[in-house]
Structure 1
Amino acid sequence: MSANQTEREGSVASQPHPEEPPAKKTRVGTEEAGDQKGDLPSEGCDEATHSQPAVVAGAKADCSVLVSVKVPKRKVAVFIAYLGVGYQGMQRSPGVRSIEEELGKAMVKAGGISECNADDFKKVDWARAGRTDKGVSAVGQVVSLKMMIDPPGLVERINSHLPEQIRIMGYVRTTSGFSAYRFCDRRRYEYVLPTFAFDKRIGLPMPYRSDADVLRAAKTSEEEAVKNAPFVFDYAVRSRLNSVLRTYVGTKNHHNFTKRVAANDSSAKRYIISFECSEPFEVDGKQFVRLVVVGQSFMLHQIRKMVGTALGVMRDVAPETVYEHAFSEKHQINVPMAPELGLFLDEAIFHAYNQRFAQTHAMLSCANYQEQIDDFKRKFIYPHIAQTEEAEDTCRNWLRELNVQNYPFKVEPVA
């Protein structure tokens, strides 16, 4: 998959939840007490006995010996944030650098997974809420697995073996049948855009295959042109954009916003709960906005094509009536796809699970780690987007292709 193919955000909706036995309500935090009875070791190697450091009575704190202790595995939901640059995606695959590969190695070193189970995630019932593709980031990713959570300090131990751009925020004990993939019934994504994307004087079309010098000269000319009359992303622009984004809300046929999905395929119908634009904010002196979308599940490229089409409407490349054809099962239309740079998974949501097990289990929510997540965004996600845009003009150069010549929005009947 190429670098600009970035999202495959949980391509199926959640399935019916299996019945679960009642359990004691658990606590939420970066660590949870390991004194509760829970799942016994699953198939794989026997983890009822596991070597753990134990301080010898009367000895100094750094003098320890390994003793054999029983460490049962517990079913948990692990909350993870990562900057995806430099990785081939979330999913572990042979021969490639992935986020899951880093997590697995760190959990083994920290004592959360035994070495004899490290080569096969199925042995620990590993499941991710959604996959992210090459270079894509997340701050609300969730992985469920059976993990040895004793002794205390597991989160800190795992993080000590991870690169700084991958962090475990914490974990929560769950029901024994919980699966982050099956029980995730909503996902929230952010798409971060520089506000100049809404300035029609920026990103003007250029001759085909213009070289770097020509593009730099065009950028300089555009910036000089707007100095005396700076663009303002004001209330009127934001209101119009939110009106356009609300067009996506509801259950609609998104076959034109993905690939390899037929118009009459039931999977083309997707439910969008909300889609709205934030107020502007600054990163490294540049102004950006967040486009925040919540839906049950998303198909390949869906969000990027939704953003691309919305920008086409905002820049008057396409009429707002384009959506009448884009959502039609009878029509086929080529819609623009925004760059992958600004997209990241903000949160995997477990709405039905939280309602069903509210009396017996702790809520699964990023709200428990919001301060850590916000810090991670400010330290890694937003600076990466701003710095990459400044260095590579990712959005600006894409805007040069967003014109009626490349996207005439010609409506054709479905083949």
Structure 2
Amino acid sequence: MDDQDIFSKRGSYRQEIIKNENDKKYFNKVTNNINENENENEEKIKRFKQDNKIKTNEMRKIHMNDLNEYYQKYKEEIDLKLKINKKKLSVAMVFGYDGTGYYGLGYQVDIKYPSIENLIEKVLFRCGHILPSNVGELKRLKWSHSSRTDKGVHSLATVISCFLVVDDNTFKNDINQTFIDTINNYLPSSIRLFSACKVSRSFQARKKGIERSYNYMVPSEYLNNIKIDEMNKILQNFIGINSYHNFTSKRNTYLSNNNNKNHEKDEKDEEDGDEEEEEDDEVEVENSNNNNSNYRLNEKLLFRNNSTNIRNIKSFYVENEIIEIKGKGWYKFVIIGESFILYQIRRMVGFFLSIVKGYSTVEALELSLKSPFSICVPTAPPFPLYLFNVKFDPNSNVEKLFSNPEPIQFKQFNFLQSQLIPRFNEIEFQTNQFKEFFNYLENSHNFNLDDIDQLRILNQQYQTEKEERKKQNELLLLKEKQETIVEIGNERIEKLKKKEIKIN
């Protein structure tokens, strides 16, 4: 390999640059030829899209330059390893990390915001497991993560699956310790590769994970004199299948008055997910004190159950024993679900804390989960949240890694005790995030529930209308089924008649 830019011959990269340049020209043309009579809002949207395309293109160039400089710095080392690594395999890797100082797990094109996946990619590249022709474009590697954590959130069990190039001896057995140790050599101590295994070519960590478990730590001083049973009784309200439209960023919850099509967006990664902000084409229903009644009626009318907001919480409880960390007590909350969306867990904890401290009520929680109305849910601090476990199909190689107590569980426990547990005390001592959170609840937070009496009535109407729609749909389905049966019966009779005619 020569010293030229490693991306210069990459077709998809050239096409992307051309596409972005064409988009820039198009948006320039559109913006410069706006009809004066056009809606001012449309003009703003077009200009925003234009600026966003230009910004993304510039970030992409800077990102590629950064990777190219990294390659030139370690060129001899990478090229030497690539002479040995010739075999392409689908691999699943289990990582743990301290998310402090990182802008979440998810890959970032903007290098101003360092993420954990960016660092892992560079290390895999340096170890000769990613070809120069593939670095910088994770989709080329079929990269997939089991759970996406937000800024400042940690993990003990993130699974990343992708195609890597390895030598003939790597993964000859189920687990290759040399592969693990070499990668950990280049990673900082705050990020550890616990285990890795070969998986089928079709395996994708995001899609194959069937259950995620998170733990959230809360200083016990803020929950003094509150019984465990009382706390768990409140937490039970979250269990089951609900719409978490009030517990995440905007996700097309309300339809436009002018467009009643039920547009669905693809599901993003989860939690504290999932997860990058989505471009939202919904119309925000404005809350006006002078027109509050119409505002809530509009919400009832325009609400839709967006499937991306509907999540199944299997378990949510607080453990009985207080964990002591350097003389400070912490309660551990356990949240288990199939998957989570952006901010969901931290807002679930935030709402719970607001109820248990008397700033809100269980009725308000029920309305936030069971009604079509917008309620402002407080977001608890990110730093004491960590992914504890991910479950996969019992027969998969990845699930066997988690179920085998040696070596992964021992490594996870050591990382939790040495890296994460001390971090909780340290961050709370330095930043007082919980103190600020409770001050905010007491003095500033507005749940948007001044009209709760009206919401009770409107929600009863909504639930009645919902049941009526359900019955009507069931009747329609039954009618269609009966008509289909009759139609099939008539077709058979006709066939029998034709058969008889032929025989005669």
Give the alignment's TM-score, normalised by structure 2: 0.58
Distance 2:343 2:229 in 1: 25
Residue 115 to residue 257, structure 1, CA distance change in 2 (3 Å):
same
Detail structure 1 runs of 4+ shifted over 4 Å in the superposition. Answer: 65-70, 412-415
Deviations 1:31-73 (A, max 9, x none): xxxxxxxxxxxxxxxxxxxxx99xxxxxxxxxxx989557312
The structure in which a higher percent of residues are strand is 1
- Which whole-Å CA distance do the structure 1 matches of 2:345 and 2:221 have between them? 20
In 2, distance between residues paired with 1:134 and 1:294? 20
Matched, 1:270 2:306: no
What is the identity percentage for the equivalent residue pairs of Structure 1 and Structure 2? 26
Task: Give the corresponding residue for 1:143.
Answer: 160
Residue 133 (structure 1) aligns with: 150
The residue aligned with 1:237 is 227
Aligned length: 313
Q: Which amino acid aligns with 1:176?
A: R
433, 451, 454: which is aligned to 1:394?
433
How much does 1:335 deviate?
Answer: 2.2
1:245 CA displacement: 1.1
The residue that corresponds to 1:188 in the other structure is: 213
Partner of residue 325, structure 2: 283
Q: Which residue of 1 aligns with 2:337?
A: 295
Q: Describe how 1:205-224 pairs up with structure 2 within 5 A.
A: none
Tell me the residue number matched to 2:181. Answer: 156
Return the offset for 1:112: 2.5
Q: In 2, Cα distance between the equivalents of 1:380 and 1:135?
A: 14
Deviates more, 1:405-414 or 1:380-389: 405-414
Q: 2:239 aligns with which of 237, 249, 259?
A: 249
Alignment partner for residue 168 of structure 1, among 181, 187, 193?
A: 193
Query: What does the per-residue CA deviation read over 1:249-306, in whole Å, with 9 as the maximum and x for residues that have no partner?
Result: 1001222222313152232221001111122111121110111111112122111111
CA contact (8 A) 1:172 1:364 kept: no
Which of 424, 446, 454 is the equivalent residue of 1:385? 424
SS of residue in 1 equivalent to 2:358: coil
Structure 1 residues 321 and 172 mapped into 2: Cα distance closer, same or farther (>3 Å)?
same
TM-score using structure 1 length: 0.69
Could you say which residue in structure 2 is the equivalent of 1:372? 411
Kindly state the Cα deviation for residue 90 of structure 1 after the two structures are TM-superposed: 1.3
Whole-Å separation in 2 of the counterparts to 1:372 and 1:318: 41
Larger Rg: 2
For structure 1, which runs of at least 5 residues remain unmatched after alignment?
Answer: 1-51, 54-64, 200-231
Q: What are the within-5 Å matches in structure 2 for residues 59-78 of structure 1?
A: 71-78=86-93
Gaps of 5+ in 2: 1-75, 170-175, 254-302, 463-504
Equivalent AA in structure 1 for residue 139 of structure 2: K
Residues 365 and 332 (structure 1 numbering): CA distance in 2 closer, same or farther, change over 3 Å? Answer: farther
Q: Higher RCO, 1 or 2 (CA under 8 Å, sep at least 6)?
A: 1
Aligned 8 A contact 2:92 2:398 in 1: no
Q: Does 1:83 align with 2:98?
A: yes
CA contact (8 A) 2:211 2:339 kept: yes
> 1:274 is aligned with what amino acid?
S
Match of 2:442 among 383, 403, 412: 403
Give a deviation string over 1:91-149, Cα, whole Å, max 9, x none. Answer: 22222311111111111222322333223222222111122222222111110012234
1:331 aligned partner: 373
| Conserved? CA contact 1:257–1:301, under 8 Å | yes
Equivalence for 2:29: none
Local SS of the residue matching 2:379: coil
The question of 1:259 aligning with 2:249 is answered yes
Are 1:113 and 2:130 an aligned pair? yes
Q: Give 2:140's match in structure 1, choosing from 123, 143, 148.
A: 123
Residues 191-227 of structure 1 deviation map (CA, whole Å, 9 limit, x = unaligned):
111111213xxxxxxxxxxxxxxxxxxxxxxxxxxxx
Secondary structure of the structure 2 residue equivalent to 1:148: strand
Letter in 1 for 2:358: D
Partner in structure 1 of residue 11 of structure 2: none
| Counterpart AA for 2:119 | E
| Equivalent residue for 1:103, pick from 120, 134, 143 | 120
